[in-house]
Amino acid sequence: MEQPPVPPAPPRRLLAKFSGVALIGFAVSAAVLHLGLEAGLRPWAARLVALVVAMNVTFLINGRFVFRALSRERLLRQWAAYAANSAFGNFCNYWVFVTLESTHRPVIGNPYVALLAGSVTAWAINFTGARFLVFGAGARFLADRCRRLLVSPRPRPRGPAPAEPGSSRR
């Protein structure tokens, strides 16, 4: 059974909660990055795995506890929207990471410093998208627009179907 909608939290509170979840996502990402590097993966490959794992963890926490909008009925649709929203943020995150890590400079070339810089970039992008496009009113608007664009209603015949030529129906 679906819970009744909870009134939205004030913007500052949402930002603080989202930031807390971002820190959890950062910790998960750093742990997975570390495990990947220790397992012998190259930094770029370990980072890709870390991004996917952290995105799924933050989706569940943000949807359930921050925006309080996660539901079983819409789980796949919400996950797809969150993944699409995160794709751009993660692209920017990964781009910053690879750019900095590939410099091989003592500080900014460190994989963990590059991880931090990329994560801060993605944080701003992902908060905006999650708040307005995935879990907010924008999600319903976009879903309705996509539904109208992709599913055109078929006009229903108003009466009985016309008889085919040669049939006994008139």
Q: Report which of residues 149 and 63 the model is more confident about.
A: 63
Residue 3 lies in a domain: no
Average pLDDT over residues 114-140: 84
Binned at pLDDT 50, 70 and 90, residue 1 comes out as: very low
| Number of domains the chain contains | 1
Question: Residue 31: its pLDDT value, please?
Answer: 97
Residue 31 lies in a domain: yes
62-76, 106-120, 138-152: lowest mean pLDDT where? 138-152
Question: What pTM was computed for the model?
Answer: 0.65
Q: Is residue 144 part of a domain?
A: yes
pLDDT for the residue 11: 79
Is there a domain that residue 121 lies in?
yes
Cα atoms in the Cβ-side hemisphere of radius 13 Å centred on 137: 2
Mean pLDDT of 110-114: 92
pLDDT at 40 over 90: yes
Tell me, what's the pLDDT at 57?
96
* pLDDT, position 110: 93
Q: What is the CA radius of gyration of the chain?
A: 23
Residue 155 domain-assigned (yes or no): no
Predicted confidence (pLDDT) per residue in 159-170, tens digit: 666 666 666 655
What is the reported pLDDT for 51? 85
Domain that holds residue 32: 11-150
Smallest Cα–Cα separation from 51: which of 88, 80, 18, 77? 88
Q: Give the pLDDT of residue 10.
A: 76
Tokens 């993966």, residue?
A: 41
